[in-house]
Amino acid sequence: MESVERIESLASRPEVQVLANPGHSLVLEQVIHRFGEMVALKDINLEIRPGEFISLLGPSGCGKTTLLRIIAGFLKPSAGQISIDGQPVVNLSPNQRGVGIVFQNYALFPHMSVWDNVAYGLRAKRLSNVNVNTKVGEMLDLVQLGHLAKRYPSELSGGQQQRVAIARALAVGPKLMLLDEPFSALDKNLRLDMQIEIRRLLSAQGVTAVLVTHDQEEAMSMSDRIAVMSQGEIHQFDSPTQIYDQPKTRFVTTFVGTCNLLPAQIVGRDGADVLVQVAGGRLLVQSASLPSEQDLLLAIRPEHLRIQLQPGAHRLSGTVELCLPLGSFMVYEVRIDAATKLKVTQPRSPGVSPLEAGTEIYLELVSPQACSLFPAQA
């Protein structure tokens, strides 16, 4: 019941006022950062278009927070160039950059009311009282918190605090909005609401935004493009669907979504079609890029395998070991040889009983493109 009401209340909110903010571009060129001997960022290049919402996605320690701090101006990169709208900003201090930040813990000033928090940046700009009051009122209306203006942050819920943080950052009209894991402190249901709301707010304002997160679902659902990072490098900078369907490196494949990795050898090719030998049989695949190495890994997502009961060309034989019904789909664990098990998800339809453990089955790819090949040596 509650969640239905919440969705309705989201839907019934007045359309957010569209401001004439054309958005600003952000370009990072060859940004390198070292902490002593440790190289935290190796040659980061990113071009973010005006008004775009991008995510820096990666495990903890991949350098995404360092990169965020560099963009905000709290860290000076060891080398490289950063420009906003074509203007270099590396030598500007954080308070001169016009970059808004929403922190993981929101970092609201605890001794100021909601109103004063939102007014802080406007007063720092030395706006007249009348202008400050108008703008704060506007911002609080935007995040639907006008009625809580006199409250203190400690009297607000997590979601409300977050909306204050957004209003505070947006009030000064930042060129760029940085979001540092802003949803991790919210519970799951509220998180989804806030993701939708923030995405809507930022697009309506035309603000270019960079989200730092380790949560791939969050990155997938919110971003125009995702930069997947690991060990100080950007592995792939692409749209969410491209990242998922055509991962460029083995890291991206395994970090984003679930993936089966099979040792594979190329045994024949015909144009773009490649025949690969893996445990349990041979598969016909089409891979965008073909590594030149002999020992390869074939990466297949669980939902890109189809279970067949009859043997056939380009099918792998296996035995069902385990079957887990997970709501709308079934997860099977299929053994294809002594050392190799594959995860396979199949849509579950009512009335169809799941395959029992021990059933002999055959696996085929849903399409020859639904897999990727990588060199076995990382």
Partner 1 sequence: MKASQLFSPKEWQLALPLAFFLHLFYVAPLAILLASSFQQAPGVAGVSLAQYGNFFGDAVNRDVLVDTFILGVQVTLACLIFGYPVAYIYARAVGIWKTILTFLILLPLLTSAVVRTFGWVVILGKQGLVNSALLGLGVLQEPVKLLFTHHGVAIAMTQIQLPLMILPIVASISQIDSRLLAASASLGGGAWRTFWKVVFPLTLPGVISGCLLVFALTVSSFVTPSIIGGGQIMYMPTLIYQQAVVLLNGPFAAAISAILLVMVLTVVIGLSVLSQRSRAYIR
The contact set with partner 1 (CB under 8 A) reads 72-74, 93-101, 103, 105, 107-111, 120-121, 124-125, 152, 154, 168-169, 172
Q: Is the CB of 160 or the CB of 253 nearer to partner 1? A: 160
Alpha helices, DSSP H only, in the chain?
2-12, 64-72, 94-97, 114-124, 129-142, 158-171, 188-205, 216-222, 240-245, 250-255
Q: Is the CB of 101 or the CB of 194 nearer to partner 1? A: 101
Find the shortest distance in angstroms from Cβ 95 to partner 1: 5
Q: What are phi and psi of 239, to 5 degrees?
A: -70, 155
Find the shortest distance in angstroms from Cβ 186 to partner 1: 17
Q: Is the CB of 69 or the CB of 315 nearer to partner 1? A: 69
Q: What are phi and psi of 202, to 5 degrees?
A: -70, -40
Find the shortest distance in angstroms from Cβ 8 to partner 1: 33
Find the shortest distance in angstroms from Cβ 122 to partner 1: 9
Task: Specify the DSSP class assigned to residue 251.
Answer: H
Q: Is the CB of 99 or the CB of 297 nearer to partner 1? A: 99
Q: What are phi and psi of 191, to 5 degrees?
A: -60, -45
How do beta strands 329-337 and 26-35 pair? unpaired
Q: Which two tokens stand for residue 120?
A: 């802080």
Half-sphere exposure of 351 (CA within 13 A, CB side): 0
Find the shortest distance in angstroms from Cβ 191 to partner 1: 20
Q: Is the CB of 74 or the CB of 329 nearer to partner 1? A: 74
Q: Is the CB of 75 or the CB of 186 nearer to partner 1? A: 75
Find the shortest distance in angstroms from Cβ 140 to partner 1: 16
Q: What are phi and psi of 29, to 5 degrees?
A: -125, 120
Find the shortest distance in angstroms from Cβ 119 to partner 1: 10
Q: Is the CB of 2 or the CB of 37 nearer to partner 1? A: 37
Task: Give every CB contact of residue 336 below 8 A, 6+ residues apart in sequence.
Answer: 278, 279, 280, 281, 316, 317, 318, 342, 363
Q: Which two tokens stand for residue 39?
A: 């190289």
Q: Which two tokens stand for residue 140?
A: 């609080």
Task: Give every CB contact of residue 172 below 8 A, 6+ residues apart in sequence.
Answer: 98, 100, 121, 122, 124, 125
Q: Is the CB of 154 or the CB of 241 nearer to partner 1? A: 154
Q: Which residue has the tokens 């571009």?
A: 25
Find the shortest distance in angstroms from Cβ 96 to partner 1: 8
Dist. CA 29–CA 45, nearest whole Å: 5
